[in-house]
Structure 1
Amino acid sequence: MAAGFIHLFQEVEVAAMQPLQAELLRKGLGLRLYAGIEALCAAVENAAASPEPQVVVLVGESGVCCQAAHALRAAAPAASIMTLLPSTTEGSLVQCLGSSIDTCWPQCAPVELIVSALLRLVGRAGSTEQPPQGVWRLTSRAWVVQAPGGIEVELTAAERAIMLTLYHAPGRRASHARLVEAIEGIESDGGCSAGYAGAAARRLSVLVSRLRRKFIAAGTGTPIRSVRRVGYEIGVEFANQAVAVAPVVNVSAPGP
């Protein structure tokens, strides 16, 4: 079995990428090329249950790579993403890192360095396969998630809203729209904006991705799973506890 799988999307045909492709295959990494973002996202989402670590490489201008990254985060929040840019200016790097892209490299970088960075991403992705078995808990009024073994992960207000919404949802599964509503409820003084805009969906995917990475960095694995065309669910056993039914809402202090 290959040590990992690389999904490679190229905005345009880049002949300079051929040595990279050959080196990836030589290292025993599976490799698949894509001509469109939609096909890339569908393949990465379908591969989420694979035992092989999956890493995405986006080759092109920063704007196109960021567009692809936003779509990937909505389809597969835990995907590991590298970009190879024609030039790594300060502006392009800020744009890419703001799109939750893991690492950015210039296309002219030595193949050995790019492959070394990819192997590190593959190794990190491979460590996310299974969360520890046992009962998880929400503590400190749901501001902390405690994994089996006692490891604790502190939550931000938005992350707490996500965890509480999933915890109290039927079957511990919630739709994208319901989660967006919960986040907006604590970020806009309790008011929710009308509709389910694309910007709100991208905001949710970025928040979930960061939350999952926070669990992974703590060594717990991720308790949150994506549900295709639905939303997200808790994929581990949580203790039934008396925790807050709704996230804390930010409200203005009353006047005198």
Structure 2
Amino acid sequence: MSVANELAGGPVVLYLATAIADRIELEQKIQALAERGYRLIFCPDVTALLQSAQTRTRHAGTVCIAWLGGGLAEICSAAVRLRMLCPQIGILMQSEATDSAMLQALHSGGDQFCPKQASLELLAASLHSLQRRLMQIPFIPEPSATQEWVLDQEGWTLISPVGMSFSLTSTERAFMVCLLAREDRRASHYELMCAVASKTDVISNPPSALHINRLGVLVSRMRRKFSQGGTTLPIRSLHNWGYMFAANCQLLLDGARD
């Protein structure tokens, strides 16, 4: 079945299904969603989720919602990447319902939050509210999925998906190399501070508030540099932990030297 035919059946809900605690309960939720006109598609991991989201949000007039359930760190990381790559998708996040968890989820890009033990009625109502809001947003085509950033010239030049080049300072280069070399393109405050610190700096783990503030100033300056060049730098803060580069990026460092 083509994506266009699939979407004609109603709003699509992409479910991040990395950990299914109660399959019977999940089947009940699927049935409840189907009765309300939603089509649920399982995504076994974040990569599959991003691919499905990018494919489906390119079709004008479609409504696509990502339902992220699982560990807080995992769903927040997924939300950051979704918000960057698919800004028009709706994001429903479901985890433990503490104030800190809900704040972190919403700061990561979520639109709605449901407690982990939410009833079918609450889940369906949240999806309906999000669907209603999304239907009022004008459609803007997404860029090609093949487009990606490139850190080139031994790490001294960051090239945007549309080919704009930005020269990096030695500190910016160290920050970007550290960030992009890590799994999922994210690194902790401690890892990043160790990468950009001078030889005389003494870095504690976790870093002091002063050092974390230094990272914040660095990121703000980089965002401003790219913004002045007409480009949004996809660096996202991960609350009380570190930073993430929320886009695909080639890291070309063969023969790199400091």
| CA distance 1:176–1:126, shift in 2 (3 Å) | farther
Counterpart pick for 1:31 among 27, 33, 40: 40
CA separation of 1:61/1:191 partners in 2, compared to 1, >3 Å: closer, same or farther? Answer: closer
Structure 1 residues 71-220: aligned runs within 5 Å = 71-85=81-95, 87-130=96-139, 175=162, 187-188=220-221, 192=225, 200-203=233-236
Report percent identity of matched pairs.
17
Name the CA distance, whole Å, in 1 between partners of 2:74 and 2:119.
23
Give the superposition deviation at 1:107: 2.3
3-state SS in 2 of match to 1:40: helix
Equivalent residue, structure 2, for 1:163 = none
Q: Secondary structure at the match of 1:97?
A: helix
Kept in 2, the 8 Å contact 1:7–1:31? The answer is: yes
Query: Structure 1 residues 186, 177: CA separation in 2 closer, same or farther (over 3 Å shift)?
Result: farther
Report how far residue 186 of structure 1 moved: 11
Q: Residue 44 of structure 2 aligns to which amino acid in structure 1?
A: A
Counterpart amino acid of residue 76 in structure 2:
C
Output the amino acid matched with 1:81: I
Q: Which string of whole-angstrom CA distances, capped at 9 and with x for unpartnered residues, describes residues 82-135 of structure 1?
A: 1111x211221111111011111112111011101101111211222448xxxx
Confirm or deny: 8 A CA contact 1:176 1:201 kept in the other structure.
no
- Alpha-carbon offset, residue 192 of structure 1: 4.4
Letter aligned with residue 60 of structure 1: G
Distance 2:221 2:125 in 1: 43
**Aligned amino acid, residue 28 of structure 1:** G
1:109-163 per-position Cα deviation (integer Å, ceiling 9, x unaligned) = 11011101101111211222448xxxxxxxxxxxxxxxxxxxxxxxxxxxxxxxx
Which digits, 9 at most, give the CA deviation of each residue in 1:149-184, with x for residues without a partner? xxxxxxxxxxxxxxxxxxxxxxxx9749669x9xx9
Q: Tell me the CA shift for residue 39 of structure 1.
A: 0.7
**TM norm structure 2:** 0.52
Separation in 2 of the partners of 1:190 and 1:31?
Answer: 37
Where does residue 6 of structure 1 map in the other structure? 13
Per the TM alignment, residue 229 of structure 1 is displaced from its structure 2 partner at its CA by 7.0
> What is the TM-score of this pair, normalised by structure 1?
0.53
RCO comparison, higher one (Cα < 8 Å, 6+)? 1
Amino acid at match of 1:84: Q
The one-letter amino acid of 1:201's match is: P
Contact 1:9–1:35 under 8 Å retained in 2: yes
Deviation at 1:67, TM superposition (A): 0.9
Considering only aligned residues, what root-mean-square deviation do their CA atoms show, in Å? 3.5
Helix, strand or coil for the counterpart of 1:127? coil
**Deviations for 1:27-75, whole angstroms, at most 9, x for unmatched residues?**
1211101111001001101111223200110010111110111121222
Distance 2:12 2:224 in 1: 43
Q: 8 Å contact 2:15–2:41 — kept in the other structure?
A: yes
Number of matched residues? 157
